[in-house]
Amino acid sequence: MENETLLKEVRAKAQLWLDGNYDEATKADVSRMLAAGDSTELIESFYRDLEFGTGGLRGIMGAGTNRMNIYTVGAATQGLSNYLKASFPDLPQISVVIGHDCRNNSRKFAEISAAIFSANGIKVYLFEDLRPTPEISFAIRHFGCQSGIILTASHNPKEYNGYKAYWNDGAQLVAPHDVNVITEVTNITDVNQIRFEGNPDLIEIIGEEVDKIYIDAVKTISLSPEAIERHKDMKIVYTPIHGTGVMMVPRALKAYGFTNIIDVPEQYVVSGEFPTVYSPNPEEPAALDMAIQRAKATDAELVMATDPDSDRMGIAVKNDKGEWILVNGNQTALLFVYYLIRRWKETGKITGNEYVVKTIVTTEIIKELAEKNGVECFDCFTGFKWIASVMRENEGIKTYIGGGEESYGFLPETFVRDKDGVSSCTLMAEIAAWAKDNGMSVYQLLQQIYLEYGYGKEKGISVVRKGKSGAEEIAQIMTDFRTNPPKELAGSAIRIIKDYKTLKMTNVVTGEVSELDMPATSNVLQYFTEDGTKISVRPSGTEPKIKFYIEVRGEMKTRADFDAAEAAADTKIEAARASLKV
């Protein structure tokens, strides 16, 4: 009976699209779904409205209320336009920046958004071609705009596209603007409310002039130019995985002084089909396979990859046996923070008023490293908008050194307010040159950090559950963990439980319950055990999956202990995984 009711509802919603002011191609697609014997596609396309969440839109492309198309993008842009006009009523000219990545329909969605903004009297700076997400954030600040958007689904599979919205500081929306924009978007209930007829006089095409200023800004974060000069011919393999990084990363590396950048020709081809990879995500080992093969063939020293919108960066390095290994997001963030703090100290920039930021699911070693060096470490929710929020709150009060998250995102500067794969690539190349200047490889530098600040290992596990039934299953998993929390993990008793949905921290040993000081609630659970293991559980905000983050600690007294520490950590991680039944 429930399925019959749902099917009746989605058929009624689909009929509104057939009867409404929609283009003929869209209507033909809806008609096809209505006529199909299998109603699965129809239900998935219309069972809900694609939610404009706090990070914007993200979904599979196609016709329907639950799909990325010109109408869902149009409603988002009209709603954002309405909110901007209400927020800046006395401003003579409201302005926005629009960028897009390499995905199918991204340029189309960007141009339609430009038309809608301009139809609402808003000045648009539209990039001439694909550009990295961090450059859009930079351009918002550069032009003094009130907002900006980029059409991207980040590292999602090719079927997806997305729409990320930014405020006037170049950061993604947080309270109160996130909720207020969502309200305005929700108020767009009729396609006729969307003003599609643009005003070309309010649309300015931008490109090289912004590229140059952005690259010049990226160059200012360099801390070891002498090391780069001595090792400028170091062989570096870089792949944009078909995405926007191809526009800026090789150029930025050359601006830094690196002269031996080796491409992966097949992956320098810009394509929303991502023809050489199953998933264009540097977190996925397979995404770096071609780059590693290129590195082996050229005897390179470092492999770097960025995702399609070039905000995330992943790396591979050689171990002491000459084998190529992948460095995970926690380790990458650890390398960045260690290098930045050390070089800031060595150059006399540490005054005691500096800070770094990490997300709650990122390795605790970063906090220990920072605090031992007199640098404050802020914890925030997952998502770079929260790191940017900490930066906003501390602007003019404390000095930002860097911030990052385990999902391969880092920001080593302040002129961008989102994770920046371009500046991260240049800084990682500099770290490799500096390590070489100090007689170490990047692999050995990572071991040195563990010797100084303690060993740890992390593993992320994603359980994918697609569609309506999947969303319900994920919700039930979180309910079950709250109702029946584990007593132990990998044989170690749970000591602390943090529930960020209720903002309560429970000491399991004493029974004491205290408040968590966070700016909002979030559907995240964390468990801390007696032996230092940390487990975090959260549904993804952008993908149909629930994520488990496992961090275990171990002992390492010399570099020779590294392999044994790794093996022991792997055993403990698998035991924790068994405890969680994932």
Positions marked active-site: 154
Q: Which of 87, 107, 100, 70 is nearest to 194 (CA)?
A: 70
Strand partners, 515: 504
CA of residue 430 relative to chain centroid, distance: 23
Q: Which of 180, 164, 153, 186 is nearest to 65 (CA)?
A: 186
CA 502/CA 143 separation, integer angstroms: 40
Tally the residues of the chain. Answer: 582
193 DSSP 8-state letter? G
What is the bridge-based pairing of β-strands 455-464 and 488-489? unpaired
What is the bridge-based pairing of β-strands 324-327 and 261-262? unpaired
Q: Which of 372, 405, 375 is nearest to 387 (CA)?
A: 405
Phi-psi sector, 144: left (phi>0), alpha (psi -120 to 50), beta = left
Taking CA atoms, 540 is separated from 51, 231, 502, in Å, by 14, 41, 18
Q: Are 331 and 410 in contact (CB under 8 A)?
A: no
Write out the two tokens for 407. 């999902």
Question: What amino acid is encoded at 307 in this protein?
Answer: D
Write out the two tokens for 361. 């699911």
CA 394/CA 414 separation, integer angstroms: 12
What is the bridge-based pairing of β-strands 302-306 and 313-318? antiparallel
CA 538/CA 523 separation, integer angstroms: 6
Write out the two tokens for 571. 């055993």
What is the bridge-based pairing of β-strands 354-359 and 399-405? parallel
3-state secondary structure of 129: coil
Neighbours of 12 (CB within 10 A): 10
Phi-psi sector, 103: left (phi>0), alpha (psi -120 to 50), beta = beta
Q: Are 57 and 76 in contact (CB under 8 A)?
A: yes
Who contacts 191 (Cβ-Cβ below 8 Å, separation ≥6)?
20, 21, 22, 71, 74, 75
Write out the two tokens for 241. 């995985």
